[in-house]
Amino acid sequence: MLAGWYYATDYLNRQDVRDALHIKTSQAFEFCNNAIHSHYQVQKRGSIWIYKAMRRMNYKMLFFSGDTDGIVPTLGSQRWIKSLKWKNTGKWKTWHTDKEFSGMKAKYENLDFVTVHGVGHMSPQWARPAVTHMITSWIHDIEF
């Protein structure tokens, strides 16, 4: 664990900080606490329904996935996108940041699917320049 995380843990467990953040639980903050999984409720239908609902409302959607993610793999994301049966409106293309390969992208109806090369699901943390470029360009309808 990185040394800085210890400082963050100490800070987030200070009573004045917990009071300011309205944290009422007596459970101490810790990084990578697996106990949180006992608080989740598994839904039988998952989250695909929200994408279908957003498409009906004509929302523009971006889904990005780190291409080395072992927890939420790109292949699994591609499979559920395929299960939506939305028309692919463009061929796979590469995208770049400062002339460096940053990943691949594909367009579907109302949905842009983008891979981020060389990172997992923490891509905004580990590929910050590329992800910032991708999201900013996408928001402003600029080709990237």
**Is residue 90 domain-shared with residue 22, that is, in the same domain?**
no
**Is residue 35 domain-shared with residue 53, that is, in the same domain?**
no
Q: What range does the domain containing 35 cover?
A: 3-39
**Is residue 28 domain-shared with residue 56, that is, in the same domain?**
no
**Is residue 61 domain-shared with residue 22, that is, in the same domain?**
no
**Is residue 25 domain-shared with residue 81, that is, in the same domain?**
no
Q: What is the pLDDT along the chain (144 residues), one digit of tens a residue?
A: 455 556 888 898 999 999 998 888 777 887 766 665 666 666 677 778 889 999 999 999 999 999 998 888 899 999 989 999 999 988 899 999 999 999 999 999 999 999 999 999 899 999 999 999 999 999 999 999
Q: In angstroms, what CA-CA distances link 107 with 65, 73, 91, 102, 113?
A: 14, 19, 8, 17, 6
**Is residue 30 domain-shared with residue 10, that is, in the same domain?**
yes
Nearest Cα neighbor of 102 from 141, 139, 132, 142 is: 132
Q: What is the pLDDT of residue 133?
A: 97
**Is residue 52 domain-shared with residue 88, that is, in the same domain?**
yes
Q: What is the pLDDT of residue 42?
A: 67
Nearest Cα neighbor of 110 from 129, 84, 143 is: 84
**Is residue 29 domain-shared with residue 98, that is, in the same domain?**
no
Q: What is the pLDDT of residue 7?
A: 81
Amino acid making up residue 137: S
* pTM of the complete model: 0.69
What CATH number does the domain containing 111 carry? 3.40.50.11320
What total number of domains does the chain contain?
2
**Is residue 130 domain-shared with residue 66, that is, in the same domain?**
yes
Q: What is the pLDDT of residue 1?
A: 46
The sign of the torsion formed by the CA atoms of 40, 41, 46, 47 equals: negative
C-alpha to C-alpha distance for 63 and 108, rounded to whole angstroms: 11
Q: What is the pLDDT of residue 37?
A: 62
| Structural domain includes residue 65 | yes
**Is residue 35 domain-shared with residue 54, that is, in the same domain?**
no
Q: What is the pLDDT of residue 72?
A: 84
Q: What is the pLDDT of residue 28?
A: 82
Q: What is the pLDDT of residue 90?
A: 81
